Amino acid sequence: ILEMEVAEKLIDIIPCAEKVRFAKNGTDDTSAAIRIARAYTDNEHIAVCGYHGWRDWYIGSTTRDLGEPKSVKKLTHTFEYNNIEQLEDIIKNNAGEIAAIKMEVSRNEVPKKGYLEKVRDLADENNIILIFDECTSGFRETYGGLHSKYDVFPDMIIYGKALGNGYAI
């Protein structure tokens, strides 16, 4: 019953939340979100910015990719934060194949004016699921999540230890 109460409270706090699903850790949450996006869009490619755990779908796009299948590595495309042109190129070069844009709202730098809005627009224009990773940012700076501060709402949000002030809940 506690899980249901917390889920209802999160839906009240987070303006774009309609449903809540709990998982063991941020990596599991992230992997579930990627699978949902792939299932929903019937596409396999992911555009990613930031750090997103150690699962194959992500780690194959990093320098820690030893042992990852080449076929998996080809599905994740990285772009730099605040570099909208890189994201536009990824979408253009993989037209109709991108399932999700997965990114942190902000980590080491703040978004340039209009950046997050443009990411949201690109996702909408190309039928791509926008996933914000707030595992470290959610509730730390702004009640409900950093996306609320910038008034840009994703299709899915992932929270983690930020809900418990750095401790697993």
Residues marked as catalytic: 51, 133, 161
Q: Cα(137)–Cα(148) distance, rounded to whole angstroms?
A: 11
Distance between CA atoms of residues 113 and 84, nearest Å: 12
One-letter identity of residue 146: L
Write down the residue that tokens 């990852």 correspond to. 68
Q: Tell me how far apart the 2 most distant CA atoms of the chain are, in Å.
A: 47
Strands (E), 6-155: 45-49, 76-78, 98-104, 129-134
For residues 78 and 28, give the distance between their C-alpha atoms in angstroms, rounded to a whole number: 20
CA atoms within 13 A on the CB side of 61: 20
